[in-house]
Structure 1
Amino acid sequence: MSVDVEDDSVFLPDWAKEYAREVAGSILLSGSPGRIVKKYRDKTALTQRQVSQMTDVSRETVSRIENDKLDPSYQFIRSFTGVVVLSRAVKCYFAKSERMGNKVDLPYLERIALELDVKRKDFEEIAVSSLDSYDKKKKEVLRSLEV
């Protein structure tokens, strides 16, 4: 079983395609897929409820998956991978735009979301959560450099 990532996608960068394969593969091949799902969910700074809404499963199902009481379905892995990859794309794109002094091109990120099959309504929530997470991490790093 593998997660389909279109090689001919127009807006999805090669690194994002590779990251999607890495995320899905690590879930599929792990002896503890729930631990991997939780690790990636924590990286996105999303709650179980948010992930459940984005992947069309109940919050309880996400909890059971994370506790290795239920194996994730193909559809869950596919949807969840899209969420994780989009979160990373938002963080990377924001950091690059910030470093170069450019404005963030939201339509570009929206097209990436579309190619990852992330729903429009979920895009905004993922973007906000990802940017909050990015800002917190940046502040932690800056504080550690002051010492």
Structure 2
Amino acid sequence: MSRKVVVERCWMLVGRRQGPFWYARRVQRSVGKPTSVAFDADWALAREEAKGDLVGFYHTHPSGLATPSVRDDRTMAAWVACFGKPLLCVIEADDRPRAYLYDGRLRSGVELCACERLPRGIVLMFDDRTEDETEENWRNQCEASTCTKKSTAALAK
């Protein structure tokens, strides 16, 4: 009898923040390896440039905890700098998602109060910090930057 290999899966999150709530939908699914997954960086850049609604990334840790790895932290820091705005990293383990907000102030994300995965790829998150607090901290710490395809190649490593 053969054993099924469990691999990481990833989606991009498109949506918006409204007050303390983040509303997002999982799109552009990709399947990876047991301990890593890649996604279509060109699609993420094109979506953000066209609609400005990419709010983060959702991926699984099938054999681990729903906490960011060092690679997750580095990848999210690069995307935050690339897009010039805070982003979410939602990690699912044991069918339970947890959301982390990356805004450029810390090396790792700050866990949000609540995160629920709903039918049809909808993800709802609650952040008890106000949007003004998050945006003010972001402006004080980071300069807006632009992202090129060359810099996204480094994200894949």
Q: Which has the higher contact order (CA 8 A, sep 6+)?
A: 1
Decide which structure has greater helix share.
1
What is the TM-score with the length of structure 1 in the denominator?
0.27
